[in-house]
Structure formats: structure tokens, C-alpha cells
Amino acid sequence: MSEPLEQAAARDANNWAKLVSRLNVSEVPAGATGINVAGKRLTSPIQGFGKMWQKTYQARLPRERVSAVDLISTWKQQFPDFWPEGNHFYAPLTGIAPGEVALIEGTLPGKLKLSTGVMVLYADEESFTLITPEGHLFAGWITFSASEQEAETVAQVQVLMRASDPILELGLTLGGHRQEDRFWATTLGNLATRFGIADAAVETTVVCVDKRRQWRRWTNVWQSAAIRSTLYTIASPFRLVSVRLRRARSS
């Protein structure tokens, strides 16, 4: 391999996260629980249960307003600000960088809480990819990118995923897919507003890559962040009583 190619390969390698067997959470920020992330393995669509979907969401902005590189730079730096109301992304202190783990506090139908997270699998000047851990709503990854096409800068979110378990597959079928589509359309709309484009149209393309359900993966339900988050919320009063009792005994 020539020296320029070796240098290019080295730079590209720096954009990928190093191989990890299990996720590590070094610090839990205020407002996050940190559950359902530490010690979890990463999952790709291969480890999921449901049908495999590729979903692509795009918003087109005037190129004169923002370049692809500047859009991605802003998106990475202010990533939590663009999420829909009621959902919180706790970015690591070092920002969106390969190998970093972020915590997520979201809302499920019925106003149930969801605590989970993601790891940054890849990041460069024009894109970054997040990958999910065990128990997440889906097994897969999400790629955020920007490209310049003639007079436009196209901001894109592309999701490749399978529902993690049978319960979540049913939830997606009964309205979860529509909720996810609204989530990313709102995110791209908020991003466009950041650059002065209000009410930007978001194009959605959905393709079922594999119609099969992987029934051997039904046991993923034992790792379900949705179930564990619900149980954690139900147990909150008991934890509070336990803390007060310990404090009373130590005083």
C-alpha cells in the first residue's frame, strides 16, 4: 500500500469506534437513570427479532444557507436540541465521537418512560452513526448524514433496524412505526429551523428489506429496556423509602 493510501486508511480507522464486548458508562448525568446500558452488548439487525426495515428521512435546505460539513458540525454539537419534546439525549462530554456512549430518556405510548442509550459507531465530517445496545426498542443503527446536490444541502436520517423482541414487533405494527416516522420528521424539521427554514418538508422512504421474523430471537424480551424501565419506574417509591430508611439509621 502506498503512503497516501496508508494515511487515508489510518484517518478512516480513527473515525470508527474500537471493538468493545460490553458498554461502559463512566458517568450518569443529572436527569438520566443510566439503566439498560452499562454492561450491555451492541446489537445489529442480525440480532433483532422482527422484520428488517430501512427507513430514510430527508430534508432539503438551500445550499447557500448551510454546507454539508457545517450542517453535520452543528448537528453533532447540538444533537440533543433537535429531538422532539419529551425525549432527552444525554451526549457524552466529549460530544459525538467514535466509541462514546450516550444515554437516552424517552417516552413510550401511554406516557411510560424509557431509559436506554446508544454508542457512536462512526463519525466524520459528513456523517455519524449510532448503534443500539441489547434491550433497545430495535436492534440496528441510525446514520445521520448530509450531502450537497446542486443548489441544495440534503440532511438525512437513515435507520436500518429490526424490532428487538416479539412485544416490540407488535408495538411497531400497532402504531410504533408511525410514531418513529413522526420522531425523525420532527427532528429534521427542528434541524431545518435552526438554519432559518421553517416548516421544511420531510421526505420519508420505507423499505422492508427482510419480511422474515427471527423467532429464535424471541428471548430478547428478557433484555427489554421498555419492560425494565417500566419496572424501574414502578419501584421508584420503594427505592425512595429505602433511601430514607438508610439515612435515618445512619443519623
Q: Is position 60 within any domain?
A: yes
Res 110 pLDDT > 80: no
Q: Is position 8 within any domain?
A: no
pLDDT at position 7: 44
**Minimum mean pLDDT range among 73-77, 197-201, 232-236, 245-249:** 245-249
pLDDT, tens digit, for every residue of 60-77?
999 999 999 999 999 999
Question: What's at 36, amino acid-wise?
Answer: N
- Comparing 240 with 137, which gets the higher pLDDT? 137
Q: Is position 249 within any domain?
A: no
CATH number reported for the structural domain that contains residue 218 in this entry: 3.30.530.20
Which domain does 43 fall in, by range? Answer: 14-244
pLDDT at position 237: 67
CA 74/CA 192 separation, integer angstroms: 11
C-alpha cell at 3: 503512503
- CB-count exposure of residue 5 (10 Å: 0-12, 13-18, 19+): exposed
- CB-count exposure of residue 61 (10 Å: 0-12, 13-18, 19+): buried
User: Taking the C-alpha atoms of 162, 93, 26 and 106 in order, what is their torsion angle to the nearest 10 degrees?
Assistant: -40
Q: Give the HSE-up count for residue 17: Cα atoms under 13 Å, Cβ half-sphere.
A: 21
Q: Is position 99 within any domain?
A: yes
Q: Is position 213 within any domain?
A: yes
What percent of the chain lies above the pLDDT cut of 90? 69
C-alpha cell at 65: 444557507
Give the count of domains, the chain.
Answer: 1
Q: Is position 77 within any domain?
A: yes
Q: Is position 26 within any domain?
A: yes
Q: Is position 162 within any domain?
A: yes
pLDDT at position 26: 81
Using pLDDT thresholds of 50, 70 and 90, give the confidence band for residue 108: confident
* Closest residue by Cα to residue 133 from 24, 248, 18, 245: 24
